[in-house]
Amino acid sequence: MISPDAIRMQVREHYAGRATGQGCCGASDPDAACCTPSAAETLEHFEGPSLGCGSPLEHAQLRPGEIVVDLGSGAGREVLLAARQVSPTGRAVGIDMTPEMVWKARDNAARTAIPNAEFRLGEIEYIPLPDASADAVISNCVINLVPDKTAAFREAYRILKPGGRLVVSDIVSNGPLPDAVRNSAEAWSACVAGALDVADYLSAIARAGFVETETLSSGEARKGQVYSVTVKARKAGMEPAAL
Ligand SMILES: C[S@@+](CC[C@H](N)C(=O)[O-])C[C@H]1O[C@@H](n2cnc3c(N)ncnc32)[C@H](O)[C@@H]1O
């Protein structure tokens, strides 16, 4: 059985190597599962890979003035697009545990001249942000890479304001995956081995305290295979704007 720390090391090394890559992956790419072009909007002068598996931003309905946090922000594309949507008074914050990705994302913030985006080095199981500080949390193809998914969802819940929303695109499975896949470090970093059965994924979100969980889009797969979903949920309480 592969240990949580071995998974983290493998995932970090893998994405450090991808930080300088371009675009998305081809069909033969080992990251094919975590590589569906996201957020159709273009971002001039952006450099680096987009390694998502959905478009959480399309469903987050961000408003000017809001604070949005992207868990596992990679090269920063979605944070930068989100920052534009919440400008001029809002802010978008990306969290990623791979230094090379954070450096690439900061470089992209400078190249695209988007001033209200920031990138912090950190693990999403221990988010470096205070309680109740975000209006929306988004994430694109990251939670499957995390050994303790419940901890990541609990942290997302903690940093959201009452009434705040979570929108995640991620890889899930139809039933359990074969042990040989689950125990492959390479399959973890390719967004396959860490995929939870969809019912377990949705219950991890509910266990963290979220309500009104809704599946917004879903692929499909045969038993024992993986596919992508986009899920929205809410932290109970009144939306600050409605107070
Ligand atoms: C598949 S890529 C997706 C990147 C980005 N969301 C995108 O759509 O391009 C996964 C990213 O999650 C980061 N990551 C994986 N596990 C993490 C963790 N536990 N905490 C923070 N970041 C993590 C990796 O470093 C990598 O940048």
What's the CATH code of the domain at 126?
3.40.50.150
From the CB of residue 202, how many other CB atoms can be counted at a distance below 10 Å? 19
Q: Does 37 have pLDDT greater than 70?
A: no
> Is the beta carbon of 177 within 6 A of some atom in ligand 1?
no
Question: Does residue 94 belong to any structural domain of this protein?
Answer: yes
Question: Does residue 217 belong to any structural domain of this protein?
Answer: yes
- Looking at the chain, the number of H-run helices and the number of E-run strands are 8, 8
Question: Does residue 33 belong to any structural domain of this protein?
Answer: no
Amino acid at 71: L
pLDDT of 78-121, one tens digit each?
Answer: 999 999 999 999 999 999 999 999 999 999 999 999 999 999 99
User: Over the range 63-81, which residues count as b (16 or more CB within 10 Å of their CB) and which as e?
Assistant: eeebbbbbbbbbbbbbbbb
**Whose Cα sits closest to atom 25 in ligand 1?**
98
Q: Does 34 have pLDDT greater than 80?
A: no
Question: Does residue 66 belong to any structural domain of this protein?
Answer: yes
Q: What is the pTM of this model?
A: 0.94
> Is the beta carbon of 96 within 6 A of some atom in ligand 1?
yes
Residues 6+ apart with CB under 8 A from 129: 69, 93, 95, 120, 159
Instruction: Kindly give the number of the ligand 1 atom that is closest to the alpha carbon of 146.
Output: 19
Q: Does 241 have pLDDT greater than 90?
A: no
pLDDT category at 22 given cuts 50, 70, 90 is: low
**Whose Cα sits closest to atom 2 in ligand 1?**
51
In this prediction, residue 28 carries a pLDDT of: 43
> Is the beta carbon of 116 within 6 A of some atom in ligand 1?
no
Q: Does 166 have pLDDT greater than 60?
A: yes
Instruction: Kindly give the number of the ligand 1 atom that is closest to the alpha carbon of 140.
Output: 6
Q: Does 25 have pLDDT greater than 60?
A: no
pLDDT of 48-70, one tens digit each?
Answer: 999 999 999 999 999 999 999 99
Q: Does 30 have pLDDT greater than 80?
A: no
CA–CA distances in Å: residue 101 to residues 18, 71, 76, 92, 219 = 8, 12, 8, 16, 28
**Whose Cα sits closest to atom 27 in ligand 1?**
74
For the chain, what percent of residues have pLDDT higher than 90?
A: 87
Question: Does residue 223 belong to any structural domain of this protein?
Answer: yes
Q: Residue 42: what are its φ and ψ, rounded to 5°?
A: -90, 155
Helix (H) or strand (E) holding 189: helix 185-189
Which residues constitute the domain of residue 186? 4-19+46-238
**Whose Cα sits closest to atom 13 in ligand 1?**
72
pLDDT of 209-220, one tens digit each?
Answer: 999 999 999 999
* Average pLDDT over every residue of 149-159: 98
**Whose Cα sits closest to atom 11 in ligand 1?**
72
Please give the Cα distance from 222 to 204 (Å, whole number): 22
Please give the Cα distance from 70 to 96 (Å, whole number): 9
Question: Does residue 188 belong to any structural domain of this protein?
Answer: yes
In this prediction, residue 237 carries a pLDDT of: 85
Question: Does residue 110 belong to any structural domain of this protein?
Answer: yes
Query: For the chain, what is the mean pLDDT?
Result: 92
Please give the Cα distance from 124 to 145 (Å, whole number): 11
> Is the beta carbon of 79 within 6 A of some atom in ligand 1?
no
Question: Does residue 189 belong to any structural domain of this protein?
Answer: yes
DSSP code, position 179: H
In this prediction, residue 27 carries a pLDDT of: 38
Residue-by-residue DSSP string for 58-74: HHH---TT-EEEEES-T
Instruction: Kindly give the number of the ligand 1 atom that is closest to the alpha carbon of 124.
Output: 20
> Is the beta carbon of 21 within 6 A of some atom in ligand 1?
no
> Is the beta carbon of 173 within 6 A of some atom in ligand 1?
no
The number of folded domains in the chain is: 1
